[in-house]
Amino acid sequence: MNTEPQYIPFADLPRQRWQNNGGWTREIARSGGGVWDWRISVADVESDGPFSLFPGVERELLILSGDGVALDFADGRQHRLTPRQPRLRFKGEAAIHSRLLGGAVRDFNLMWRRDSTTAQLDEVQWQGARSLPVAADQILLLFVRQGEIRLPEHGIRATAYDSLLWTAGAAHSVSIEADQADILLAGIGKI
């Protein structure tokens, strides 16, 4: 049984310029090669502009750094994502215009096709040595938002914005140590 996570250092992720030149994306992980069922990335937003449309896709966005963004939906709704209220889930087909509330913003993006995939994003403060359960039928991505975590049995030390990915396989637990770390856990499954 392989319980070894894939270690994904943030510094090794290539930056991809957006078509509208308003920012950059670093893709952390995705299913498949071309058309994906789920995708996880970090974006650096440099200017105001429209969101890309993703029909049939659910999206969850979480501010990692910066003052935040104001989101203007075509249906008249407005939402502000700030460090105090950093998170929003919405439909990928929604027409949205984004306005920066200050300078550049960095955000975490989880996207999944609602007809084939389920996803859940949890924010966890990790302190001390604890065990993290990994389900057999689930893909699990751990993203270090702040701080540092250690996986002694795997010889891994992950710092801010690094990720660990476990693919579906046998259920197991992994021991994780941290002095103090804020992490995101993205659990992905099939419908």
Domains contained in the chain, number: 2
Same domain (yes/no): 121, 109: no
Same domain (yes/no): 84, 173: no
| CB distance 174 to 147 below 8 Å | no
The answer to whether residue 3 is domain-embedded is no
Same domain (yes/no): 26, 105: yes
Residue 34 has pLDDT above 90, yes or no: no
Give the model confidence (pLDDT) of 134-171 as tens digits.
998 899 999 999 999 999 999 999 999 999 999 877 88
For the chain, what is the mean pLDDT?
95
Same domain (yes/no): 108, 125: no
The answer to whether residue 6 is domain-embedded is no
The answer to whether residue 40 is domain-embedded is yes
Residue 65 has pLDDT above 90, yes or no: yes
The answer to whether residue 100 is domain-embedded is yes
Domain boundary among 72, 93, 113: 113
Q: Which residues contact 175 (CB under 8 A, 6 or more apart)?
A: 129, 130, 131, 132, 151, 152, 153
Q: Which two tokens stand for residue 18?
A: 């957006």
- What's the predicted TM-score (pTM) here? 0.95
Residue 27's domain spans which residues? 12-113
| 48-62, 146-160, 165-179: the lowest-pLDDT one | 165-179
Same domain (yes/no): 125, 108: no
